[in-house]
Structure 1
Amino acid sequence: MGTTLQGQKDKASAFSQLHLDPTILVLPNAWDVASAKIYERKGFAAVGTTSAGIAASLGYPDGEYVPKHLLMETTKRITDHLAIPVTADIVNGYGSTYAEVLDTVRTIIECGVVGINIEDGLPNHTLEKIESQSEKIRAIRQLADTLDIPLVINARIDTYWSQIGEPSIRQEQTIQRANTYLRAGADSIFIPSVSDPATIQTFVSMINGPINILAGPHSPCISELEQWGVSRVSFGSGPIRRIFTHIEAIADEIASQGTYHTLTDPMPYSELNHLSE
């Protein structure tokens, strides 16, 4: 399908506006063309990629273990097949220097995305220094401005995900980081591993920008999140992990019972082939 530069700009502007509308942005996460096409056909306004999902589908653990060229190739295949906006998870930015991170961002923009997730969590379960992460975000914003793409920067804060800091001050640290990142040029703030209603509502009231919540089986429902003022809800690796659980069930049944009941009601073969269109 592909898109022109002006088309990419228009998608970026539309994606940005989705974070400001009173209706919550429900953003499912894809790991390949087929999963992304299913989401598009179900009427979702945009799709995000999942770093863990892409990694698992290619035979790597999550993080930055997927070779950069494979990440870009997968992302471009997704954007080429979709008419709706796509935002990409680039983990920490695939670089130990600002220049390397900016090269990643430039390349992923060239793949057709209109937004990125970039996180402050490090592999050793610590956080990037707030000043360093803010400067990284500032540099990304300047690059996007130079390229004349209104890139949506979703700044992920891993205080809760990695359980960093004492619980009594974790909320305050998260709010401080969030507002600092927003001042540096982030458009929205992503705080995974938060499901407590009171904490979510505190973040909405104290953080000066749109909030993204990672949803799971025990999270508040979408209507509640919308009522509290959450701007965006995503699902990360949840969908692909659920699918892999079902594949395990299929394998278990065949191996242990010699039956195939878990294959009941599959997607029709013809519909599977149409996912490439």
Structure 2
Amino acid sequence: MSAFQDLHVPGKPLLLPNVWDVAGARMLAGAGFAAVGTTSLGVAASEGLPDGEGAAVDATVRLVERLAPVGLLVTADIEGGSVEAAVAAAEAGAVGVNVEDGFGDPSVHARLVGDIKRAVPELFVNARTDTHWLRAGDVGEAVRRIRMYRDAGADGVFVPGVKAPHDIERVVAAVDVPVNVLALPGGPTAQQLGELGIARISLGSLLFRAALEAVVSTAQAVQRNLPLREDLPSYQDVNG
């Protein structure tokens, strides 16, 4: 875990792209990224499955296994998670897991965090709280939850959706473990997040959604007789 943990530096955050296939991971490795996460939405949608219901956890573990030859450090999004899923991800080659509380009972989630750390001590457990994800956000509740998860043994905490600088500062000040946030449209830049003390910036489903937009807009460009981009990766780049 230490090599991955060492990448989490408050003030100089790890920028963690999230992938759903081997090709994207290879391209990111070629661009100099040392670590990636999986995206539960990207993996689930690619399999024709819903996100957030645990339906794609097996597919995520299979993806982690396929990513091993790429040579990247990989952390797996196992959604709500379980000890069994965390162990399977570690056995597949993951150096970390992301487990989300779904805004459920934080004491239950804290127990899960502790159980995972006891079962796989070397795994970097990133404990996510959903106080701000698809919600207006309650920073006081976020702080209460991440402290519980830190006390249970979490190596890092994740508050996706938090955007206001003063809220981010409160979250960072609340715990002595690395804090992870999402890069968000209209939110602070990576540099600004570093200045706020963030140690990890995830891209979540952003790359997957951007890729879907590119699929449709490129097809429509041909349909509408518009010029096509000439700076895309070549066939040889991808196949090589």
TM-score for the superposition, normalised by structure 2: 0.93
**What is the CA distance between 1:262 and its match in structure 2?**
3.3
CA deviation digits over 1:170-202, x for unaligned, max 9? 211110100110010101111111111111112
Q: Percent identity?
A: 35
SS of equivalent residue, structure 1 residue 53: helix
Distance in 2 (alpha carbons) for counterparts of 1:68 and 1:233: 22
Q: Does 1:250 align with 2:218?
A: yes
Deviation per CA, 1:185-220, whole angstroms, max 9, x where unpaired? 101111111111111112111233211010022121
1:177-256 equivalent positions in 2, closer than 5 A? 177-255=145-223
1:72-115 alpha-carbon deviations (Å, 9 max, x no partner): 2122112x22222100000001xxxxxxx211111111110000
CA distance in 1: counterparts of 2:32 and 2:190, whole angstroms: 16
- In structure 2, do the counterparts of structure 1 residues 192 and 46 end up closer, same or farther at CA, with 3 Å as the change threshold? same
State which structure, 1 or 2, has the greater radius of gyration over its C-alpha atoms. Answer: 1
The Cα shift of 1:263 comes to 4.9
CA contact (8 A) 2:11 2:195 kept: no
Q: Is the 8 A contact 2:43 2:60 kept in 1?
A: yes
| Counterpart selection for 2:12 from 6, 23, 28 | 23
Please say if 1:267 is aligned against 2:233. yes
2:126 matched residue in structure 1: 154
Distance 1:22 1:43 in 2: 20
Q: 1:249 and 1:45 mapped to 2: Cα distance?
A: 30
Cα deviation, residue 68, structure 1 = 4.1
For the Cα contact (< 8 Å) 1:179–1:208, is it kept in 2? no
Give the conservation status (yes or no) of the 8 Å contact 2:131–2:142: yes
Gaps of 5+ in 1: 1-11, 94-100, 122-126
Cα distance in 1 for partners of 2:57, 2:200 equals 27
Q: Distance in 1 between matches of 2:130 and 2:90?
A: 24
1:13 maps to amino acid: S
Query: Aligned equivalents of 2:21 and 2:171: distance in 1?
Result: 32
Does 2:10 align with 1:14? Answer: no
Q: Pick from 91, 96, 100: which aligns with 1:110?
A: 91
Q: Deviations over 1:103-132 (max 9, x none)?
A: 1111111110000000000xxxxx221111
The equivalent of 1:131 in structure 2 is: 107
| Contact residue 249 and residue 262 of structure 1 kept, 8 A | no
Counterpart CA distance in 2 for 1:21 and 1:132 is 28
The alignment partner of 1:14 has SS state of helix
1:109–1:195 CA distance, 2 compared to 1 (3 A): same
Runs of 5+ unmatched residues, structure 2: none
Partner of 2:41: 52
- TM-score normalised by the chain length of structure 1: 0.81
Deviation at 1:20, TM superposition (A): 4.1
| Aligned residues between the structures | 240
What SS does the aligned partner of 2:147 have? Answer: helix
Question: One-letter code of the match for 1:154?
Answer: N
